[in-house]
Amino acid sequence: MIDQTLSWFSWRHSGDTTLVLYALVPLVVGALSLALLRMRVPSLGGVERVLSTRWAVLAVGVISALTFRHEWGSLRELPLVHDEAAYILQARLFAAGKWTDSAPIPEFFEQPHVLVTPRFAEKYAPGNALMLTPGIWLDRPGLMPVIMLGLAGALIFVLGRRIVNVWVGIFAWMIWLGLATETTTFRPSYFSEMLTQALWLCGWWALLRWRDDRRAWQLMLVAACIGWMAITRPLTAVAFALPVGAAVLFLVRQRRAWLPLVAALAVGCAFLAVLPLWSAKTTGSWRVTPLMLYTDQYMPYDIPGFGQRETPLLREASPEIACFEQSYGSAHRGHVVAAIPRDLYARTREVINAFFADRRRGLIIFAVLGALASPMELGFMVATSVVLVLAYSTYAHNADWTVYYLETQPVCALLAAAGVWLVIAAIGRRWRRTRDAATSREPGARFAGWCMLALSVLAIMPTRDAVRMVSHFKSIGDLPHRLFHQAVDSLPGARKIVFVRYAAGEGCQQNLIQNSPPLATAQTWIVNDRGVDDERLLRAAPDRIPYLFDFATKTMQPLPAYTIPAR
Pairing of strands 545-550, 524-528: unpaired
CA 416/CA 410 separation, integer angstroms: 10
pLDDT of residue 25: 56
The CA-atom distances, in angstroms, between 524 and each of 309, 482, 550 are 38, 16, 17
Residues contacting 461, CB < 8 A, separation 6+: 21
pLDDT of residue 406: 92
Provide the 8-state DSSP code for 325. Answer: I
pLDDT digits (tens, 9 = 90+) for 391-421: 999 998 888 888 899 999 999 999 999 998 8
In a domain? residue 425: no
Provide the 8-state DSSP code for 473. Answer: H
pLDDT of residue 290: 96
CB 257 within 8 A of CB 246: no
For residue 113, which of 96, 144, 89 has the smallest C-alpha distance? 89
- pLDDT at 425 exceeding the cut of 90: no
For residue 395, which of 486, 313, 302, 479 has the smallest C-alpha distance? 302
The letter for the amino acid at 383 is: A
pLDDT of residue 192: 95
**Partners of residue 498 on adjacent β-strands:** 526, 547
- pLDDT at 188 exceeding the cut of 70: yes
CA 380/CA 204 separation, integer angstroms: 9
**Residue range 191-212: average pLDDT?**
96
Confidence bin at 132 (pLDDT 50/70/90): very high
pLDDT of residue 565: 46
- pLDDT at 362 exceeding the cut of 80: no
- pLDDT at 443 exceeding the cut of 90: no
- Residue 107's CB is within 10 A of a number of other CB atoms, namely 17
In a domain? residue 393: no
In a domain? residue 377: no
Least confident of 168-172, 266-270, 470-474: 470-474
**Partners of residue 549 on adjacent β-strands:** 500, 556
Least confident of 60-64, 445-449, 496-500, 545-549: 445-449
pLDDT digits (tens, 9 = 90+) for 253-278: 998 889 999 999 999 999 999 999 99
CA 214/CA 199 separation, integer angstroms: 20
pLDDT of residue 149: 92
Least confident of 281-295, 451-465, 528-542: 451-465
In degrees rounded to 5, what are phi and psi of residue 492?
-70, 155
pLDDT of residue 323: 82
In a domain? residue 144: no
Least confident of 14-28, 37-51, 393-407, 418-432: 14-28
CA 402/CA 166 separation, integer angstroms: 29
Q: How many domains does one find in the chain? A: 1
pLDDT of residue 46: 79
Out of 120-124, 401-405, 473-477, give the one with best mean pLDDT.
Answer: 120-124
**Residue range 504-533: average pLDDT?**
89
Least confident of 36-50, 98-112, 331-345: 36-50
**Residue range 530-550: average pLDDT?**
92
In a domain? residue 272: no
CB 63 within 8 A of CB 153: yes
The CA-atom distances, in angstroms, between 405 and each of 53, 194, 352 are 31, 11, 10
The CA-atom distances, in angstroms, between 102 and each of 461, 496, 499, 517, 541 are 51, 18, 19, 9, 14
Domain that holds residue 539: 2-12+481-563
- pLDDT at 110 exceeding the cut of 80: yes
Confidence bin at 457 (pLDDT 50/70/90): confident
CA 4/CA 506 separation, integer angstroms: 21
Tell me the three state secondary structure of residue 317: coil
Cis peptide before 375 (omega within 30 of 0): no
CA 544/CA 536 separation, integer angstroms: 13
CB 113 within 8 A of CB 83: yes
- pLDDT at 308 exceeding the cut of 60: yes
For residue 363, which of 409, 296, 395, 317 has the smallest C-alpha distance? 409
Residues contacting 97, CB < 8 A, separation 6+: none
Between 506 and 296, the more confident residue is: 296
pLDDT of residue 72: 77
Using a 10 angstrom Cβ sphere, with 0-12 exposed, 13-18 middle and 19 or more buried, the burial of residue 521 is exposed
Between 567 and 503, the more confident residue is: 503
In a domain? residue 138: no
In a domain? residue 523: yes
- pLDDT at 434 exceeding the cut of 60: no
Pairing of strands 545-550, 496-501: parallel
CB 513 within 8 A of CB 109: yes
Look over the chain and give the mean of its residue pLDDT values, rounded to a whole number. 84
pLDDT of residue 426: 79
Q: What is the DSSP string of 1-44?
A: -HHHHHTT-S----------SGGGHHHHHHHHHHHHHTS-----
In a domain? residue 551: yes
The CA-atom distances, in angstroms, between 190 and each of 74, 341, 439 are 13, 32, 52
